[in-house]
């Protein structure tokens, strides 16, 4: 049996993966992807615990898959205050997630830009009534932040809850979306 903490990193390793480091207006991001067939495996946002992010070792953008460069543009635009484009589901590597975790992320993927939902509401919509804690744990494993906008999920009392990149960046992301979408409720 695979322990839950090891299942989180069950995507392909080694030569199968490419890493694209890039700067945004909020700091450095990293995209880990499989080139053939193309699939995003993990996105690391600015402020995430990894302080030793390095410049792109490939050194040339043209050496990266065109879809990876498109994801880079989507993330860069988001951190410049623009509503992100929808990323095709086929571009996301869901393998490290259980079907129940994926159900939660699918619900979150459809939360409109500039809006928030409560953990309990997300859990119920995913088919897990009274599963707010489960939803929070599933969102903690989200390998696709911004694409699956887990920052839009908050506690029922309106407080932030947790976020892998820290509550400060979560608050900033929610506020930016509210300001640019006209939903200034947060």
**Catalytically annotated residue among 29, 41, 150, 167:** 150
DSSP 89: G
Backbone angles phi, psi at 133, to 5 degrees: -65, -40
Give yes or no: 150 in active site: yes
CB proximity list for 70: less than 8 A, separation 6 or greater: none
Cα-based distances in Å from 1 to 4, 94, 101, 103:
9, 19, 18, 22
Task: Tell which residue, 45, 182, 43, has the closest CA to residue 115.
Answer: 182
Residue numbers annotated as active site: 150
């Amino acid at each position: 049996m695979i322990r839950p903490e090891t299942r989180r990193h069950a995507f392909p390793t080694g030569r199968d993966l490419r890493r694209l480091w890039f700067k945004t207006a909020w700091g450095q991001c990293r995209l880990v992807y499989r080139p053939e067939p193309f699939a995003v495996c993990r996105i690391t946002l600015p402020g995430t615990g990894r302080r030793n992010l390095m410049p792109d070792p490939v050194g040339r953008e043209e050496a990266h898959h065109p879809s990876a460069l498109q994801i880079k543009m989507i993330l860069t635009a988001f951190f410049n205050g623009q509503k992100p484009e929808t990323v095709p589901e086929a571009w996301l590597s869901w393998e490290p997630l259980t079907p129940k975790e994926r159900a939660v992320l699918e619900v979150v993927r459809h939360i409109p830009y500039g809006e928030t939902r409560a953990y309990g509401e997300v859990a119920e919509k995913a088919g897990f009534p009274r599963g707010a804690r489960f939803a929070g744990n599933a969102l903690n494993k989200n390998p696709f932040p911004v694409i699956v906008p887990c920052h839009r999920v908050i506690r029922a009392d309106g407080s932030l809850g947790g976020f892998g990149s820290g509550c400060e960046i979560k608050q900033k992301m929610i506020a930016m979306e509210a300001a640019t979408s006209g939903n200034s409720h947060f």
